[in-house]
Amino acid sequence: MSEPQELRYQADLVVTDLAGRHARRWSRRHDVAVACGETSRSWVDLDDRVRRLAGGLVARGVGAGDVVAVFAKNRVEFFEIVLATATIGAVAAPQSFRSSVHELEHGLAATGARVLIAESTGDLAERTRQIVKRHANLMFIDLGERGAGEYEAIVRSGDPDGVHPGPGELDAFWLGLTGGTTGLPKVVRVPHRVIVQMWLYMVIEFDTRPSDSMLVAGPLHHGLGFGFALQQLYVGGRVVVLPEFDARGVLEAIASEGITVLPAAPTMLALMLDAWDDEPVDIDSLRVVISAGSSLPAVTKRRLAAAVPDVALYEHYGATEAGFFTVLAPEDQFRKERSCGAAFFGSRIRVLRDDGTTADPGEVGHIAKQGLVQGGGYAGNPDATAKMWCGDWSTVGDLGYVDEEGYLFLVDRADDTIVSGGVNIFPAEIEAAIGELEGVSEVGVIGVPDDRWGQIVQAFVVRRTGAGDVTEQAVIDACLARLAPYKRPRLVTFVEELPKSAAGKVLRRELRRAGADR
């Protein structure tokens, strides 16, 4: 038998040429790829601008491995920047436009950003000005107004036909920042191969198609908007982005644009349905709704089913550093109402005890996965990375259990467990009970110090507008109807809104501060 010859597959899994592949398909080259507000790009336009921006950045001295931070609200240029950086082997590092100057400085330092592309107008202007003034070493590129400014000058002058070495499939594509629910966000390094492989798995799990039109109503800097929007472009579908979230605007966009896919956080879905209750519009074009970020209350599922009876609802659980853990498919939404689903494609789920052994069905432990891990750890933070792994299993500090069929039920973060009278109480189960009340929009539960019990349960409740009065007793009764009496809130506080991270997750540490000041 002859010696095996070296094979050349020529098929590295990289993000480069994403727009170009669709621009070269004659049947869709002039179709709209992405739109935001009054600005849109066809596939040909997007490809041309990405290549020109790539050439312009190289001419400015930006090269492979350089980190390019983006500080901007939702706009079509976001996609150009991310795809252009990938083209030249640089790395995108989106920053939350909600960040304070302190948080933004942390994000830039933690990611090692060399370039900052940012808005210098509107309500980001002062924060951008302060960052540029304090960090003279940053290469600053002003996004400016639409069609003008330094950014546009770079695009216009860039060579669209430049040949760039490009990245390898294990080179970083994206530096993501974790939700920051337990402190300042940590940095997750996501390689090209992993993100492309993830996008392909998403086609299998969520049935996204080239014929789809996706609405992104949340911020593009966040993993939900970032990941799903780029995945939709990867398969050749259209992406419509709202400049900022507005519940009525979501409904109007679905109706006017024929939106078929909507990824959204549970709070967004609840507010959208509130607006629909006030003034219904035809949103029957919706084919798929994907909920993520936190558990979707059963009452919201039922409201969505009433508004769009034929929609396929998916709920997934995951984390920036580990990717998808589970997905709850449409056929399981009411069969496994409180579950966050079965193992995502290509993954295995296990619940581990403190000693690393496997927990029995129904036994609460540390949720862990094997399979495609999005980040695999935290850049520059070996201690946190070590805590993420238990042998070959990755975990992000969440607690839960599996049932006899292998469906996962999320209980809470280990750090958020309330210990009252020596007994563990999990905030998520109390939040689920209170969230069943028709008049409740959102709820956050914490433990506050108590001389007798060690901790007692406090619930912060946001009432839903126009849904009638929800009383303290109604909140307590809802818990007593579903939970053991010791789990009921001893304190109920009604608030206008809950503090949230840039990722839209409730910041229990902020609630704990409020609870301590009672």
CATH number, domain containing residue 483: 3.30.300.30
Q: Which of these three, 357, 377, 411, is where a domain ends? A: 411
- Whether 198 is in a domain gets the answer no
Shared domain for 27 and 168, answered yes or no, is: yes
> Is residue 422 predicted with pLDDT exceeding 70?
no
Who has greater pLDDT, 27 or 297?
Answer: 27
pLDDT 10s digits, 253-287: 999 999 999 999 887 898 899 999 999 999 999 99
pLDDT confidence band for 417 (50 / 70 / 90): confident
Q: In whole angstroms, what is the distance from residue 232 CA to residue 253 CA?
A: 17
Shared domain for 314 and 393, answered yes or no, is: yes
pLDDT confidence band for 5 (50 / 70 / 90): low
> Is residue 518 predicted with pLDDT exceeding 90?
no
pLDDT 10s digits, 317-347: 988 888 899 999 999 999 998 899 999 999 9
- Whether 204 is in a domain gets the answer no
Shared domain for 427 and 449, answered yes or no, is: yes
pLDDT confidence band for 159 (50 / 70 / 90): very high
**pLDDT reported for residue 8:** 66
pTM for this model (two decimals): 0.84
Shared domain for 144 and 269, answered yes or no, is: no
- Contact assessment for residue 353 and residue 169, using Cβ atoms and an 8 Å cutoff: no
Shared domain for 429 and 403, answered yes or no, is: no
Q: Which of these three, 189, 211, 230, is where a domain ends? A: 189
Shared domain for 314 and 185, answered yes or no, is: no
pLDDT confidence band for 147 (50 / 70 / 90): low
CA dihedral 323, 329, 335, 338 (to 10 degrees): 30
Listed range (55-59, 77-81, 219-223) with the worst mean pLDDT: 219-223
Total domains in the fold of the chain: 3
- Whether 205 is in a domain gets the answer no
- Whether 325 is in a domain gets the answer yes
> Is residue 293 predicted with pLDDT exceeding 80?
no
Instruction: Give the residue from 31, 67, 56 showing the smallest Cα distance to 46.
Output: 31
Shared domain for 152 and 279, answered yes or no, is: no
What is the SS3 assignment for 175-215? EEECCCCCCCCCEEEEEHHHHHHHHHHHHHHHCCCCCCEEE
CATH number, domain containing residue 274: 3.40.50.12780
Q: Which residue, chain included where needed, has tokens 């006017």? A: 256
> Is residue 502 predicted with pLDDT exceeding 70?
no
Greatest alpha-carbon span in the chain: 81
Shared domain for 426 and 401, answered yes or no, is: no
Shared domain for 47 and 145, answered yes or no, is: yes
Who has greater pLDDT, 33 or 318?
Answer: 33
Q: Which of these three, 172, 189, 206, is where a domain ends? A: 189
Of all residues in the chain, the percent with pLDDT exceeding 90 is: 62
pLDDT confidence band for 2 (50 / 70 / 90): low
Q: What is the number of other CB atoms lying within 10 angstroms of the CB of residue 427?
A: 25
- Whether 77 is in a domain gets the answer yes
- Whether 279 is in a domain gets the answer yes
**pLDDT reported for residue 112:** 94
Shared domain for 168 and 250, answered yes or no, is: no
Range of the domain at 52: 18-189
